[in-house]
Structure 1
Amino acid sequence: MKNKLYREKVIESLLYLSAVTAVIILFLICIFLFKDGIALFQEYPFLDFLAGTKWYPTSQPPQFGLLPLLFGSMIVTFGAIVFSVPLGIAVAIYISELAGEKEADLLKPLVEILAGIPSVVYGFFGLVVLVPMLQDILDLPTGQTALAGSIMLGIMALPTIISISEDAISSVPRAIKDGSLALGSTEWQTINKVIIPAALSGISAAVMLGIGRAIGETMTVLMVTGNTAVIPGFPDGLFAPVRTMTATVALEMGEVPQGSEHFYALFAIGSVLFITTLITNIIAEHIKRKYKFNLGAGQ
C-alpha cells in the first residue's frame, strides 16, 4: 500500500513538474520575443511602426510600416475563413448526422490525415497546381495571389474545424434529437433548428481555432501569395499578390544583421503575431468552456 502511494506521489510530482516546465518555457519565449521586439521602439517611433503604410527595410531611412503585412494577413485569413467554415461545418454535420457508420469510420481518419500533412507539401501543391489554375481561369498576371493563399489555408484549417465541430455535434444529447423528431420535425429541420444551435458554442470554438491555425501559418503562404508588401484593396486585393506577417519573418530573418533595426522590427512583427494568436486561443478556450458548461447543464 505504501509503495502504491509512493508511486502515485511520484507520478503526481512528475506531472506537476511537466506543467510548471511548460509554463516556464512559455514565459521565457515571451521574454525572448518581446525583449527584442520592444528594442525597435528605442529608435523607431511606435506609431510609425503600427500605422505605417510602407515596408521598406533597406531604404534610407528604413521604413517599417506594419499595415501592409497586417492587412495582407487579414485578407488571406478572411478568405480562408469564408472557404473553410461553411465547408468544414457541412462535412462535420454529414459525418455526425447523415453518414452511415462505415462511411463515418472511413471519413474521420481521412480528415485526420489532412492535419498530418506538412505545410510545405500544401505549399508545393498550391504552387504547382493551384497557382497556374487560378492564373488561367481568372486570367491574372500571376496566380500567386491572396486568393491562392486563402484556399490553401482554408484546406489546412479544415481538419481542425471538422474534428471539433463533429465532436460538438455528436455531443448533443440524443434525447433532444429524438424529441424534435417525435414532434414531427424532419431530419433537416432537427439539424438546422435544434442540433446546430445546441452545438453552436463548440462549433464557434472550432472556427476560432481554425482561424488561429490560419494566422500562424508560414510556409504555405510564403510559397503561393507572391510576397508583395502593399496594402491590398477589397475585394480586388484577393486577386493580387500580398505579403503576410509570417512570410515576412521567414523571408528576411536569415538576411538581417543581428542587433540592427531591421532585426528588431522582425521581432516586433513576431510579437504582434504572438499576441494575435494568444488572443484567438483565449477566445476559443473561453467558448469551449462555455460549451462544456452548457452541455453539462443540459444533461
Structure 2
Amino acid sequence: MNDPIRESMLKKSKAARRETFGKTISFLAIAIIVAVVAAIFYFVASKGISTFTQNGVNFWDFLTGNTWNPGAKGADGKPLVGALPMILGSFLVTILAAVVATPFAIAAAIFMTEVAGKKGARILQPVIELLVGIPSVVYGFIGLSVIVPFVRSVFGGTGFGILAGTFVLFVMILPTVTSMTVDALRSVPRHYREASYALAATRWQTIYKVILRSAMPGILTAIVFGMARAFGEALAVQMVIGNAFTVPNSLTTPASTLTSVLTMGMGNSVMGTLSNNALWSLALILLMMSLIFNLVIRWIGNKGGNTK
C-alpha cells in the first residue's frame, strides 16, 4: 500500500511544474533563434559561393577587382565582377559616419546625464526618439534636397559621394549611439562620482577620468550598433552617394556601397545567372564584414572593461 505522504512529497509542486514549463519555452525560443540565424548564414553562404564554384570567378580577383560589369568580360575572358569599389565605399561611409557621430553622441549623453540631469533628458529624449522614428527614405530625400546641394556648393563636384552619404548616416546613427551612451553613463555606480568629488576633483575631471573610462565598454558597444546600422543602410545612402561603380578617389566623387548595389541590382537579375550570384557574393561579404566589425569592437570593449 502506497504511503500518500510519500507520494505527495515526491510529486512536483505547481511552482516546480511552472518553472519546468518556463525553462522549456525559453529553450525552444533560443533554439528557434539559433536555427534562424544559422539558416540565414547557410542560405547567404550557399548562394554567395556559387560565383566561385559554378561561375569560376577567382575569389581574390573578386575582392580586388575595380570593375563591376557582370554582363561583360574582360580581354582575358574573365567576368568583370570586381567588388573593391563597393567594399571601399562601405568602409569609408561607415567609419566616417561613426567618427563624426561619436563626439556629438557622447557630448549629448554627458549633457543629459551629468550636466542638465532630468531637465536635459526631458528636452533631448523626445528629439532622439523622433530621429529614431523617421523612415530612412525621408532621410534620403532630405539628403537629396539639402545635403547634396550643400556639398556641391561648398566642396564642388556633383554633390553626390562619400561625403554626402556620411552626413546622412551621421544623422541616422546619432540617436542610436546617443541612447546607448546615456545608458552606459547611467550604469556607472554613484559612489564612483562621490569618491572622485571627495578627492577634490572637478566635475569635468570626474566626467573625463572616471565616468567616461568606466563606461567605455558600453560606449564602444553603442558605436558598434551605430556602425551596424550605417553599414547595413541601403536606401538613404543609395539616394545620395551617386551609385558609381568606381573606386572613390575623393570624398566628393560619386561612389557606391555594397547595400546600394544590392538594392539596385537584385530585382533586375535572374536567379542562377552570374549577375545574380555575384550579388549574393556581395551580400555574403556584407554579412561577414558586419560580423567581423562586431567581434573586433566587442573584443576592444571587453579589453576596456578589464582595465577599469
Deviation of 1:209 (Å): 2.0
How many pairs does the alignment contain?
A: 291
**Match runs of 1:186-205 below 5 Å:** 186-205=202-221
Change (3 A) 1:126 1:56: same
Match of residue 5 from structure 1: 16
Match of residue 23 from structure 1: 34
**Match runs of 1:69-80 below 5 Å:** 69-80=86-97
Q: Render the CA deviation track for 1:137-187: whole Å, top value 9, x for unaligned.
A: 33x232222111001111111122111211111222222212222222221
Q: 2:261 pairs with 241, 248, 252, which one?
A: 248
Q: Is the 8 A contact 1:68 1:243 kept in 2?
A: yes
Q: Render the CA deviation track for 1:260-281: whole Å, top value 9, x for unaligned.
A: 1111111111011101111222
Q: Give the TM-score, by structure 2 length.
A: 0.88
Letter aligned with residue 293 of structure 2: T
Q: Is the 8 A contact 2:137 2:235 kept in 1?
A: yes
**Match runs of 1:30-45 below 5 Å:** 30-42=41-53, 43-45=56-58
Q: Is the 8 A contact 1:206 1:284 kept in 2?
A: no
Q: Render the CA deviation track for 1:172-215: whole Å, top value 9, x for unaligned.
A: 22222122222222211211222111212211221122112211
Q: Render the CA deviation track for 1:38-71: whole Å, top value 9, x for unaligned.
A: 1111211111101111112222353111111111
Change (3 A) 1:164 1:244: same
Q: 1:223 pairs with 227, 239, 247, which one?
A: 239
Match of residue 284 from structure 2: 271
Change (3 A) 1:292 1:112: farther
Q: 2:275 pairs with 228, 240, 262, which one?
A: 262
Q: Secondary structure at the match of 1:58?
A: strand
Q: 1:53 pairs with 47, 58, 66, which one?
A: 66
Letter aligned with residue 192 of structure 1: Y
Letter aligned with residue 72 of structure 1: G
| Structure 1 CA distance for aligned equivalents of residues 17 and 300 of structure 2 | 38
Match of residue 91 from structure 1: 108
Of all paired residues, the percent bearing the same amino acid is 38
Change (3 A) 1:285 1:17: farther
Q: Is the 8 A contact 1:83 1:154 kept in 2?
A: yes
Deviation of 1:10 (Å): 2.4
Q: Give the TM-score, by structure 1 length.
A: 0.90
Q: Secondary structure at the match of 2:210?
A: helix
| Structure 1 CA distance for aligned equivalents of residues 217 and 245 of structure 2 | 36
Match of residue 133 from structure 2: 116
Any unmatched runs of 5+ in structure 2? 1-11
Q: Is the 8 A contact 2:141 2:239 kept in 1?
A: yes
Match of residue 141 from structure 1: 157
Deviation of 1:8 (Å): 3.2
| Structure 2 CA distance for aligned equivalents of residues 98 and 291 of structure 1 | 25
Letter aligned with residue 188 of structure 1: W
Deviation of 1:255 (Å): 0.7
Q: Is the 8 A contact 2:131 2:175 kept in 1?
A: yes
The structure with the larger Rg is 2
Deviation of 1:34 (Å): 0.6
